[in-house]
Amino acid sequence: EATSLSLSRISLPRDLADQKFESHTLAYLTFVSYHRGNMHGRPRKAYKPEEEAASAAKAAKLRALQSQFMSNHHNKIYTKEAVDLSTKLLEINPEAYTAWNYRKLAVEDKLSRIESDPDLIKTILDEELRVVESALSQNFKSYGAWHHRKWVLSKGHSSVGNELQLLNKFQKLDTRNFHAWNYRRFVVELTKRSEQDELKYTDDMIGSDFSNYSAWHNRSVLLSSLLARKADGFLPNKKIPDEYKLVQNAIFTDEDDQSGWFYHLWLLDQTVNVETPLLTSSWPSHGSRISLYAGCSNGSFSKLTTFGSESGYFPLVLNFDQAVGGVSSSTVTIDTELKGNEDLVWEPVSKKNSHVSCVWVARPKYISSEPCFGKEYKVKVKIGNSPGIVSSRGCNFSASYEFVFTAHVHDTVEESSQEGIVSWTDGFDIWDAESKDLNALTTLDRSNAQMDSKWRQEAIAEEIDLFRELPDSKIGKLTLARLLMAKAMISDDAVKGVHYNEILELYKDLMALDSSHYQYYKDVHSVALLRKVTSSTEDLSGHLFRCRNMNNSVCIRLNNLSLSRIASVEKLLFVQMLDLSHNELHSTEGLGGMQLLSCLNLSHNRIRSFSALDSLRHLKQLRVLDVSHNHIGEHSVDTTRYLCSSPLFNSEWTQDEVGRQMPTLVTKYWDAYFVLRDLNLKQLDITGNVIAGDVFSSFVLRVVPKLVWLDGKKLEI
């Protein structure tokens, strides 16, 4: 409103202002003419001759009014006659926002000229309310009219006692009018009406029309507030099951009406998710023993718990169930004899300038000037002892937690340069399903906090039984799949596999039944499949390998699964090699938390630009990347390019040597530049993409100077 008010003060050339106002007026008449009888699916009727004449007369009257109105507006004439003229204009066209802003200026002018007389002030403001009500009678979905009424009430001198009565009048005309519902929330806040009373009002509105989406939505807003502050009688374990019963009446009365389904989806979200953020996994995990080397390891220790780096730092990863901020050395304390780790810097794994993330990383130092090799060190990590970790929704990490692991620092091993090419076709041995290391995974990566799940499980189980009785329908199958997914998330491992198998079948059915939403079903099918793979030792072991040619590095092979989306990364923090080839991925979103990842195969996917690889910039250990046979460079217009910085808005590329020496190529390949320059790759494969060629290869060699292998060929150094 402040913006529109300020716009009214801009002095435009008289002719231009008249033209703009006339164009808006005629556009309104055209809109009314076109949609007359064509709103909400009703067929449009042809005008009768007498209706054509009436419309022409209305347009002529508007033209006559607008010329005088614009003259009054630009000359700041606020006499009674001038204001009455704007009233007539708004009676014909309630969407004339310039006229509403003019009236605001006129009111301010009147109030500035009178003494503090409450009766006179009330008379002026009541007149504005009358004009608004008249305009709403013409079009009760007028944005300008509702905003003007809010502005009048915000002046604080007018009675709000009859506002709810007025709203009842308009909501009877259209019970789902979101303008009226938005204004109702404004009035309720202004009058301090209780949320419980408003909740009762939604009962009445839903009772008279259960397809009232706006009433269901307002109910969710009110309940969110009441549940969050634990108002009397509004505990989740009591209230949410009651709400399921309420919405069931709507769904099973008319399963084709969407209003109840949307509310049911909101209820399911309230059932599964907890507001308080939880720590879902970490690396290293609680109780683990890790072997740290000053270079590459010799493979004599378990590769699940081994890390080598020439930098002398290892990643400490915290993975939360929702985005949080405030992770720092004051909210996360490290108790260890390893020197130089008193004030660790924690960084969010997120886009630039974002201070919240699900994944946070610190890099403790394990090589210092003092000899420390051949020793074991206990490392205790404490989280939440001091307040400060807060979710993006404003909820505090309230349950303090600690985990302990043992770090064995070995003698320095000289890291040899990568002479041999890393192959994804041979040299892999499947992991022993009975391995102690593998069995440890399922206990080390579990959530530290158990939510109160009994009532949640019971509520979801009742809904599943109920929806199994619903006749086959798209929305019924989708809801059943969502319910089963929710149950799998809070169930014991023993029954998760059964749930995921049924979920996968349901989404396959939906992909066949509803082609218009195929990609959505495909994405959630991928999420369910990855959750199934990571839900148990048995499922995980079928995809887990050792790579002999990479010192027995841990490799997860998730190739040829038709995946279109990445999920369950929090269960794979220990992985060093990841094969996602021959899938249908469009981006690498979610991989940023895999801080141990050194080799990644993304060949034969559907990646369209380097900006879709933006999350890889966080992987400091990544040395091998295969993006061959994708669609990079194939599309001239690519919305994924906006995922990372553009030189149009960021001039930092001109500050380094490559940017200064190759400005034309940096501008042409800016998305590749911003991703590749942050990586320390030794092997890269981009064959089979439109972008591949001599020009791009020469550009890559300048951006990634440590590259040894490019497109399967060893570079001459």
> pLDDT tens-digit profile of 544-585?
998 888 878 889 999 999 999 999 999 999 999 999 999 999
Mean pLDDT, residues 177-197 taken together: 89
Mean pLDDT, residues 272-283 taken together: 87
The tens digit of pLDDT for each residue in 323-350 reads: 999 999 999 999 988 877 777 899 999 8
Mean pLDDT, residues 393-421 taken together: 76
Asked if the model's pLDDT at residue 8 lies above 50, the reply is no
- Are the CB atoms for 574 and 596 separated by under 8 Å? yes
User: Which among 415, 409, 260 is positioned nearest to 338, based on CA atoms?
Assistant: 409
How many CB atoms are located within 10 Å of the residue 412 CB?
13
Q: Which tokens go with 352?
A: 């630039």
Asked if the model's pLDDT at residue 354 lies above 60, the reply is yes
Average pLDDT, the chain: 83
For 582-624, give the secondary structure using H, E and C.
CCCCCCCCCHHHCCCCCEEECCCCCCCCHHHHHHHHHCCCCCE
- Are the CB atoms for 283 and 596 separated by under 8 Å? yes
CA dihedral sign of residues 525, 527, 533, 537:
negative
User: Which among 27, 21, 26, 46 is positioned nearest to 36, based on CA atoms?
Assistant: 46
Place of tokens 């502005």: 151
Mapped onto helix, strand or coil, the DSSP state of residue 295 is coil
pLDDT band for position 618 (cuts 50, 70, 90): very high
Q: In what order do the strands lie in the sheet with 306-308?
A: 306-308, 289-293, 401-409, 375-383, 332-336
- Are the CB atoms for 289 and 244 separated by under 8 Å? no
Helix ranges (DSSP H) in 114-158: 118-138, 143-154
More confident residue, 32 or 289: 289
Q: Phi and psi for 291 in degrees, rounded to 5? A: -110, 125
- Are the CB atoms for 645 and 651 separated by under 8 Å? no
Task: Give the end-to-end CA distance of the chain in Å, rounded to a whole number.
Answer: 64
In angstroms, what CA-CA distances link 398 with 230, 277, 347, 380? Answer: 16, 8, 21, 19
How far is residue 586's CA from residue 86's CA, in Å, rounded to a whole number? 54
In what helix (H) or strand (E) does residue 91 lie, and over which residues does it extend? helix 80-92
In angstroms, what CA-CA distances link 576 with 551, 598, 612, 655? Answer: 11, 5, 21, 34
Asked if the model's pLDDT at residue 410 lies above 90, the reply is no
- Are the CB atoms for 500 and 535 separated by under 8 Å? yes
Nearest-5° Cα angle at 525, 520 to 531:
130
Q: Taking the mean position of all CA atoms in its chain, how far away is CA 653? A: 29
**pLDDT at position 49, please?**
74
- Rg (the chain; Cα; Å): 32
In what helix (H) or strand (E) does residue 69 lie, and over which residues does it extend? helix 49-74
In what helix (H) or strand (E) does residue 496 lie, and over which residues does it extend? helix 493-513
Q: Which tokens go with 99?
A: 């006229």
Asked if the model's pLDDT at residue 533 lies above 80, the reply is yes
Contacts of 48 (CB under 8 A, 6+ apart): none
The tens digit of pLDDT for each residue in 366-386 reads: 876 555 556 888 999 999 888
Q: Phi and psi for 390 in degrees, rounded to 5? A: -130, 140
The tens digit of pLDDT for each residue in 624-676 reads: 999 999 999 987 544 444 445 454 445 555 557 777 778 888 888 988 998 99
- Are the CB atoms for 235 and 452 separated by under 8 Å? no
**pLDDT at position 437, please?**
62
How far is residue 198's CA from residue 177's CA, in Å, rounded to a whole number? 17
More confident residue, 153 or 629: 629
Report which residue type is found at 504: L
How far is residue 132's CA from residue 144's CA, in Å, rounded to a whole number? 9
- Are the CB atoms for 230 and 195 separated by under 8 Å? no
Sequence-distant contacts of 177-182: CB under 8 A, at least 24 apart:
177/140, 177/141, 177/214, 178/214, 179/140, 179/141, 179/142, 179/143, 179/146, 180/140, 180/146, 181/214, 181/215, 181/217, 181/218, 182/146
**pLDDT at position 438, please?**
62
Best mean pLDDT range from 182-186, 303-307, 522-526, 537-541: 522-526
Q: Which tokens go with 80?
A: 């009674």
More confident residue, 503 or 177: 503
Percent of the chain with pLDDT over 70: 81
Nearest-5° Cα angle at 529, 527 to 530:
65
Asked if the model's pLDDT at residue 417 lies above 70, the reply is no
Q: Which tokens go with 453?
A: 């799940």
Domains with residue ranges and CATH for the chain: 198-272 (no CATH), 279-416 (2.60.40.1220), 454-532 (no CATH), 543-714 (3.80.10.10)
Best mean pLDDT range from 143-152, 202-211, 538-547, 576-585: 576-585
In angstroms, what CA-CA distances link 454 with 398, 459, 535, 614, 709? Answer: 21, 9, 20, 40, 55
The tens digit of pLDDT for each residue in 76-94 reads: 999 999 999 999 999 888 9
In a 10 Å sphere around its CB, with 0-12 CB exposed, 13-18 middle and 19+ buried, how is residue 456 labelled?
A: buried
Helices 118-138 and 143-154 pack at an angle, to 10 degrees, of 160
How far is residue 630's CA from residue 640's CA, in Å, rounded to a whole number? 14
